[in-house]
Structure 1
Amino acid sequence: MEKLWVPSLPILGGRMLPLLRHCCAVGSHHPLTWRSIFQTLGREQKQIRSWSAQCSAYNEGASVSEKDNPHKKLALPDKSLLDARILYCTSPALGHNKEAHPESNKRVPAIVDALEKLELSPKHRGSQVLEIQNFNPACLDDVARVHSRSYITGLEKAMSKASEEGLIFIEGTGPTYATETTFQESLLSAGAGITLVDSVVAASKLGPNPPLGFALVRPPGHHAVPQGPMGFCVFGNIAVAARHAQHQHGLKRVMIIDFDVHHGNGTSDAFYDDPDIFFLSTHQFGSYPGTGKINQVGQGDGEGATLNLPLPGGAGDYAMRCAFDEVIAPSAQRFKPDIILVSAGYDAHALDPLAGLQFTTGTFYMLASSIKQLAKELCGGRCIFFLEGGYNLQSLSSSVADTFCAFLDEPSLAAQFDDPAMLFEEPTRKIKEAIEKAKGIHSL
């Protein structure tokens, strides 16, 4: 059987490395081709065809084995790491798609288009913004540090059924679906996070201001529990990266900040008894999946290393500014992380259809800027964002673009996108009560 094609080295996209650039359009670097998938599933969207047409081929039914997918040592020039302000990877998972599903394969292309239109892409920023292309998928050992072997092998075996039926729903996981490419594409998305950890850590050894990383990947990961997928999520991308940072780089103390509108129950479960990974989640009270109660603080050796801050419906910019100043920053300062990883969900935006918070583009700019400063003060600037939710393509793409602006220390573009008329008064009393309760439980 043919094995999944794995490139030997990552490639940086951008003006400053012209000899290493692919001759494809922005976003079309993905090392898999989806021509047969689109024929099978009947996809006809013009944008997606333009992405898939320029990708390299692989054999249908390919599998990944440990011996065929060793980690390659990154060969990124020191100069590129010193000059860069942002390193990012994209894994659009074009074959993992269900028509009319909110977690669709249009999400990452919409972000890439926005970065291009707002002149935040490597094409416009040269050495400041670099895209790492042709990175390796995660190997099975990487994923098995978070998920059970039985789940991993079971999902791989399910790909033949997905190939026959075009699309399957994974039993017992809610609305989580799979297509024939889901296994390979999920490994690739997890591999993007690993690659960014390697790159940002390497850069931090060269100077005091390493670039920030952003894994623009799907399917998302923070709901995927150790025993299986859940809530649109297949593998826990951020959890896999956290374990990699510990095992590969000796970064013992990892802080994970999750500002997705939904509680990151999968990430929480993976580290609930681990004192060396501090998991902090802000999310809408009562939202899917119903976990993340304020009194859930970890167990055993990990007691106190989980902090949940459920916010009332209608919470917005005021709530997150208070949460950052009074809960997130003090928690990080006390924990003293070696690296900060961020589950960046953009579904708390006021325009997002799947929840009831009212963040704005400016809220996400504030969070990105504040977390960047926190990482600079506490862990040598080592910080990587991972795309989680965000299902209104307009608010998702503009908010990620403004996150890039924050990373670059440039003014926010929020005024171009945010309409104050869409907002209503935040429930300040309930917000203050939730924050004070969290502070009391965790002695902040």
Structure 2
Amino acid sequence: MRNISLMKHPISLIKCFKPFISSFSSSSTNNVSEAKLIFSVAPAMGHNEKTHPECSSRVPAILRALEKAELTPKFRGSEIIRHQSFKKATTEDIASVHSRTYISSLEKTLKGASKNSIVHFGSSTDTYATATTFTESLVAAGAGLSLVDYVVTASKVNKNPPVGFALIRPPGHHAIPDGPMGFCFFGNVAIAARYAQRVHGLKRVFIIDFDVHHGNGTNDIFSDDPDIFFLSTHQEGIYPGTGQINDTGYGNGEGATLNLPLPKGSGDKAMRTVFDHVIAPSAQKFKPDIILVSAGYDAHVLDPIASLQFTTGTYYMLSSNIKQLATDLCGGRCVFFLEGGYNLESLSDSVAESFRALIGEPSMATEVDKLDILHDEPSAKVHKAIRRIKQLHFL
């Protein structure tokens, strides 16, 4: 549930908080102050092509892993909250980053699709849709917006608000203003950034994208905006071929875009170095009001889509460090949005590790990571890229 009036009537924050609480699982309503993590689920089960890597098996696999790891409200009570009901994003929400022509065209096209048909977009068959994709994309975006509402509202009554995690699909960071791209239809993180500004008055938004692919859609949407800092780490030389180091934004947004393509074979060592020398100082310099995360898990060494070698431990480290950044810089306001990740086992284990990190529990990565399959990282190339980034962004 979203409530714009919270901005106008801060004296009644506690009363306004009750409608948010009522839409969560009953086991989680006893003591909201104990909540460390709130997650929403939008699995888009109708948006499915069985042989496609971005299929409807992804979110259910994550939920099974969370249940097995006892990282759900059933086992954690009020420490972990699952958002049980939320509104779809509105056309106005979507139109904050996408053209109305595109939105109406997509809706019309998919309304005319038969129940079992598959519609493909672009010159390749990579991006598909079904008759339910438009509605389910609105649900996915709405699931993210509801977490922004909750986290921002909680931060006004709690110095340590829960981190949000939207387990949603279709993913969003490739969707461009005028069309779908790379499995994506609506830019979930981009929509949430504009929503945080428009509804909650949060001026400065810091977006971290650690998907293995460059978030070209998010990049393009905010390239000229000085108040939204977009930082992407991704494998160099792969789809979509964008995100070069010298892409730093333009116009008023010059310097508010940071792209760090990582050489093939980069892994945990590279990302720890990148976090310390690029991500953290960039956020500290920008001084955000909220941090949003495009959390892609396809840089894992077991993922079939690319050739980096992150481990589940890498994702624990990233999640833990990003949470700490939010605590230090913006009152703990932070929401993660699921993007890629196509090996169901590594995806599920890695999201579970993120959950552990976000509630402050020790990592269990050593129980699942197969470190013997890793090879030496191209450290010299990584350090060279970091030096160039520092020159461009005065870090």
Same fold (TM over 0.5): yes
Asked if the contact 1:175/1:231 (under 8 Å) is kept, the reply is: yes
The residue number in structure 2 matching 1:282 is 233
Asked if the contact 1:261/1:348 (under 8 Å) is kept, the reply is: yes
Asked if the contact 1:14/1:126 (under 8 Å) is kept, the reply is: no
When residues 296 and 371 of structure 1 are mapped into structure 2, their CA distance, relative to the original with a 3 A threshold, is same
Match of 1:11 among 3, 8, 23: 23
How much does 1:283 deviate? Answer: 0.3
The residue number in structure 2 matching 1:204 is 155
2:293 aligned with 1:342 = yes
> What residue ranges of structure 1 are gaps of 5+ in the alignment?
1-7, 18-78
Code of the aligned partner of 2:282: S
Asked if the contact 1:375/1:383 (under 8 Å) is kept, the reply is: yes
Asked if the contact 2:120/2:127 (under 8 Å) is kept, the reply is: yes
Code of the aligned partner of 1:190: A
Aligned counterparts of 2:125 and 2:231: Cα–Cα separation in 1: 24
Code of the aligned partner of 1:232: F
2:374 aligned with 1:423 = yes
The residue number in structure 1 matching 2:259 is 308
Match of 2:337 among 364, 368, 386: 386
The residue number in structure 2 matching 1:22 is none
Query: Alignment identity in percent?
Result: 62
The residue number in structure 1 matching 2:323 is 372
> What residue ranges of structure 2 are gaps of 5+ in the alignment?
1-18
SS in 2 for 1:240: helix
Please list, as runs of the form range in 1=range in 2, the aligned pairs for 1:20-419 lying within 5 A after superposition. 80-163=31-114, 166-172=117-123, 175-419=126-370
Code of the aligned partner of 2:335: I
When residues 243 and 81 of structure 1 are mapped into structure 2, their CA distance, relative to the original with a 3 A threshold, is farther
Code of the aligned partner of 1:273: D
Asked if the contact 1:212/1:382 (under 8 Å) is kept, the reply is: yes
How much does 1:108 deviate? Answer: 0.3
Aligned counterparts of 2:41 and 2:177: Cα–Cα separation in 1: 24
Which digits, 9 at most, give the CA deviation of each residue in 1:158-210, with x for residues without a partner? Answer: 11332266111023575111100000000000001100000000100011100
The residue number in structure 2 matching 1:75 is none
How much does 1:440 deviate? Answer: 1.1
The alignment yields a C-alpha RMSD, in angstroms, of 1.3
Which digits, 9 at most, give the CA deviation of each residue in 1:83-137, with x for residues without a partner? Answer: 2100000000000001210001000000000000000011000000000112100
Match of 1:439 among 386, 390, 393: 390
How much does 1:81 deviate? Answer: 3.6
SS in 2 for 1:146: coil
Asked if the contact 1:177/1:232 (under 8 Å) is kept, the reply is: yes
The residue number in structure 2 matching 1:57 is none
Aligned counterparts of 1:126 and 1:165: Cα–Cα separation in 2: 40
Asked if the contact 2:214/2:242 (under 8 Å) is kept, the reply is: yes
Asked if the contact 1:297/1:306 (under 8 Å) is kept, the reply is: yes
SS in 1 for 2:220: helix
Of residues 301-310 and 152-161 in structure 1, the stretch that sits farther from structure 2 once superposed is 152-161
Of residues 151-160 and 139-148 in structure 1, the stretch that sits farther from structure 2 once superposed is 151-160
Aligned counterparts of 1:80 and 1:153: Cα–Cα separation in 2: 43
Asked if the contact 1:86/1:128 (under 8 Å) is kept, the reply is: yes
SS in 2 for 1:163: coil
TM-score (norm 1): 0.83
Higher relative contact order (CA 8 A, sep 6+): 2
Aligned counterparts of 2:123 and 2:374: Cα–Cα separation in 1: 37
SS in 2 for 1:90: strand
Aligned counterparts of 1:265 and 1:362: Cα–Cα separation in 2: 26
Aligned counterparts of 1:180 and 1:410: Cα–Cα separation in 2: 41
Asked if the contact 1:15/1:123 (under 8 Å) is kept, the reply is: yes
Code of the aligned partner of 1:211: P
Aligned counterparts of 1:386 and 1:316: Cα–Cα separation in 2: 22
Code of the aligned partner of 1:15: S
How much does 1:441 deviate? Answer: 1.0
SS in 1 for 2:261: strand
Aligned counterparts of 2:159 and 2:278: Cα–Cα separation in 1: 26
SS in 2 for 1:256: strand
The residue number in structure 1 matching 2:6 is none
Aligned counterparts of 1:83 and 1:234: Cα–Cα separation in 2: 35
Aligned counterparts of 1:173 and 1:251: Cα–Cα separation in 2: 39
Aligned counterparts of 1:174 and 1:235: Cα–Cα separation in 2: 18
SS in 2 for 1:15: helix
Asked if the contact 2:25/2:83 (under 8 Å) is kept, the reply is: yes
Aligned counterparts of 1:394 and 1:204: Cα–Cα separation in 2: 34
TM-score (norm 2): 0.93
Asked if the contact 1:102/1:391 (under 8 Å) is kept, the reply is: yes
Aligned counterparts of 1:380 and 1:173: Cα–Cα separation in 2: 43
